[in-house]
Copies of this chain bind each other. A is one copy, B any other.
Amino acid sequence: MVRRERFHLAAKPLASIVSVGLSKFGRREGVYARELFAEAALESFHRLEDFDPGKQIRAAFIGQMSESYERQSHTAPMAANWAGLLPVAATRVEDACASSGAALRCGIMAIKSGLYDIVLVGGMEKMTNLPTPEVTGILATASDFPFEQWNGMTFPGVFALMATSHMHEYGTTEEQMAMVAVKNHKHGALNPKAHMQKEITLDEAIKSRVVSWPLKIYDCSLITDGASVAILAKPKLAKKLSKNYVHIIGTGQAQDTFLMHERESLTTVKAAKLASQEAYKMADLRPKDVNVAEVHDCFTIAEIIAYEDLGFCRPGLGGKFIESGAPALDGSLPINTSGGLKSKGHPVGATGTAQIAELYLQLTGQADRRQVKDAEIGLAHNLGGSGATAVVHILRSG
């Protein structure tokens, strides 16, 4: 355990995660988002012993992207109520698909400020109650209304632009994108909480229906209902609350313009690069120190670009990286062991802390059939929109 000792001498934890919870992801009929949230929260409470959530949790930051699915805003106090947390200070945080990544950051600051010892962070979204075109329209509110939405520019179109640019500039292929889908479905098949627990073949992926060329249906993440929760504590309290805890040692967030025509490059997400640089610096680590990562594969091309932006491979080599098998469960740097947004599903507000939940399981050795051996450093990469928001967190086993 030479590596472990080295890291223990490194960055001071910002906050610790003592428990996580995840609702079943999928098409969850007949329930409101608040009920999914309570399902996730209860699981997180049950992992702890002698824990009185209503008394011990005094602040909650809850990510949710849209009020439109259920005509319900002001959702944080509602979810907190359903989880039995009143009169907890409950605040909704929204940064599109990075909502709960941003909520986690608020939770970290709440702990590190000294104002709170224990904080709940999480996210939720109930999406499948509306028809897909309407969902696509709601998701598109996270793009720029007068310049993008108004012109019918929904997210498959935006990411297709990034994909064709990457193909043009670096020779990335449709097969390579499909490989990301195959990998993540393979991982998701091992995750009982995943929306689609089904392996797919490369051929199925490539031959699937075109959504916005070159993106096909299997290049796109799922419209999913779900919620996720993580309980943060100040590092000194972590051991007292649970024998299974991990430390958050790096956090970064950056923004960029929404508009493709204003971006410096279409083959990289600048905000993700900046956010990861900030997180690496804080954690005093480099990309090669990461053992397991959850990245924002809203579309397969987004995962390929994430490999590059996070420094797992050089710019332009994301296609080769997936080809090499490195990001597979048995590879050198397993990525999206949960199944990712692609197969676990993408209830947008829940995604950021769902990534954290997977890393928590990995870093505490509780990931069951998808456990990465000796995983000690985990990274989460959460995008909002087409990358106008990026949030990166680095976790270390306790």
Contacts and interface: CB of A to CB of B under 8 A. Distances in A.
Interface in A132-191: 141-146, 149
Given A32-B146, A68-B68, A92-B94, A255 B109 contact: no
Interface residues of A, number: 63
A298 interface: no
A67 B70 contact: no
A351 B252 CA distance: 29
A38 to B, nearest CB: 14
A96 B114 contact: no
Contacts of A66: 67, 73
A366 interface: no
B78 A144 contact: yes
A212 interface: no
Interface in A226-243: none
Contacts of A68: 67-68
Given A110-B109, A149-B71, A89 B253 contact: yes
A204 to B, nearest CB: 33
A199 interface: no
Nearest to A253: B89
Q: Which 8 pairs show the lowest CB-CB distances between chains A and B?
A: A89-B253, A112-B113, A77-B255, A74-B96, A74-B142, A87-B254, A109-B109, A109-B113
Interface of A: 14, 32, 59, 65-68, 70-78, 80-81, 86-96, 102, 105-106, 108-115, 141-146, 149, 251-258, 270-271, 274-275, 384-385, 388-389
20 contacts: A59-B253, A66-B73, A67-B67, A72-B141, A74-B94, A74-B143, A74-B258, A77-B256, A77-B384, A77-B385, A77-B388, A78-B144, A87-B255, A88-B254, A89-B105, A91-B102, A91-B105, A109-B112, A109-B113, A113-B113
